Amino acid sequence: MEDYDIPDVEKIVVEILKGLVKPNQIGPLKLETFDQYMMLMYDETAPEMDLSEYDFIQINRRMGYLTETMTDISGLDVQVWSKTRSRSVQLMNEVTKRILDAEGYTFLGFQIDFAVTLNGPETDRIEMMEETMTSKSFELHIRVNWKD
C-alpha cells in the first residue's frame, strides 16, 4: 500500500495568510488567540499602539473527509478580530482574496485544487466593547502528499 500525508488544513491556511498579521496573531486555538486579544484590551499600562496590534485571525477546520481520489475536502471557519469594523472587514477581504487565489498552488507541500467561499462575511460587534469580529466560511480541496 502506498503511503501519504494528509494535509493539516489549519497550518496550510496560516501559511497562505502569512504576513497579514504577526505570527502570534494567527492560529487555530480559539482560547489562546482570544486570551492574547483580551490582554491587549485590558492592559491599562500599554502605551498607545498601532491598530494592527489588535488584529487577530483565528482558523478552525470544522468538517472534512478524504475522497477516493485522495483529496481532503474540508470546511474552514475564519474569524477576524479588529479594533474597528472597517479594519475587520478590510482584513477579512484580504483573507478571502488569499484563500481563493491559493487554488492551483502548493503550500507546505500540498496542492490546493479548489477554494470557494461558503458563506459570510458576518460581522458582530463584541459585546460591551468597541471591537469587531468578522467571520466567513470556506471550502478547500487539498490533495494528499504522496511519499516516495
* Domains of the chain and any CATH numbers: 4-45+52-146 (3.30.70)
What's the pTM value of the predicted model, to 2 decimals? 0.82
The model's pLDDT over 45-81, given as tens digits with 9 standing for 90+, comes to 555 666 677 788 999 998 888 888 789 999 999 999 8
The model's pLDDT over 6-60, given as tens digits with 9 standing for 90+, comes to 999 999 999 999 999 988 888 886 555 566 666 666 665 555 666 677 788 999 9
Q: Are 105 and 122 in contact (CB under 8 A)?
A: no
The torsion angles phi and psi of 110, rounded to 5 degrees, stand at -120, 130
